[in-house]
Amino acid sequence: MADANRAKAIVVVLMVTVLSAACGTTADSRAAEADGGAVGAQPLDFSAATTEGRPFDGSTLAGKDVVLWFWAAWCTECRREAPSVSAVQAATGDQVSFVGIAGLGEVDEMRMFVDDYHVDAFPHLVDVDGALWERFGVTRQPAYAFVDDSGDVRVVRGELGRAGLADEVNALIAN
């Protein structure tokens, strides 16, 4: 039992170290990077709990344009990005479904982040084991997975800002 707990602790420390390094990038290295993602034929076939403890079934989003925002409560880049996410989500109304995916942290801290940064207009999922991050190939935060209504995925890692996110969302809607 002690060996299992030790192994879990080592994995958590390694994940926090890697993600902390990614979150602490300099302004010169913050340019967003994109790829097509490799999530399989049914990218939204997953389930998770929201930060409020409610079940969430990703398959309810199938056939819709979706923005998945990957963030961590302790990430300073995510904190800077939150107002942009909130503004673009509000501006798009029902045209696009936004879902936040919080990783590597305590659920209470995730809830506080949602409240403090006023991103409570859409659901946020708890991904403490990193399964959803891994599914979408997310290795640093913030990151986005843009899933169009046919299920095609484009993953963008890094800050986008309001204008960059709005451009990505408009391209998603136009597709």
pLDDT reading at 168 higher than 50: yes
Confidence of residue 77 (pLDDT cuts 50, 70, 90): very high
**Strands 97-103 and 66-71: what pairing?**
parallel
Total domain count, the chain: 1
Residues with Cβ within 8 Å of 10's Cβ and at least 6 positions away in sequence, in order, are none
Q: What is the pLDDT of residue 42?
A: 73
Q: In this structure, are residues 145 and 35 in contact, taking their beta carbons and an 8 Å threshold?
A: no
Quote the pTM value: 0.79
Mean pLDDT (whole number) for 14-23: 40
**For residue 7, what is the domain's CATH number?**
3.40.30.10
Domain that holds residue 116: 2-24+32-174
- How do beta strands 66-71 and 55-57 pair? unpaired
Tens of pLDDT, residues 82-109: 999 999 999 998 999 999 999 988 999 9
What is the separation, in whole angstroms, between the first and last Cα of the chain? 51
Nearest to 131 by CA among 48, 52, 37, 56: 48
Q: Is 27 exposed, middle or buried (0-12, 13-18, 19+ CB in 10 A)?
A: exposed
In this model, does residue 10 exceed pLDDT 50?
A: no
Q: Is residue 112 predicted with pLDDT exceeding 50?
A: yes
| Spatial separation of the C-alpha atoms in residues 127 and 101, rounded to whole Å | 6
Q: Compute and round to an integer the Cα radius of gyration of the chain.
A: 16
d(CA 96, CA 64): 7
**Can you give the pLDDT at residue 60?**
95
Digit-coded pLDDT (tens) for 30-62: 344 445 444 555 789 999 999 999 999 999 999
What pLDDT shows up at residue 9? 39
H-type helices in 24-153, by residue range? 76-92, 107-116, 131-135
DSSP three-state, residue 46: coil
Contact 134, 124 (CB under 8 A): no
- Mean model confidence pLDDT for the chain: 83
- The Cα 9–Cα 15 span in angstroms is 10
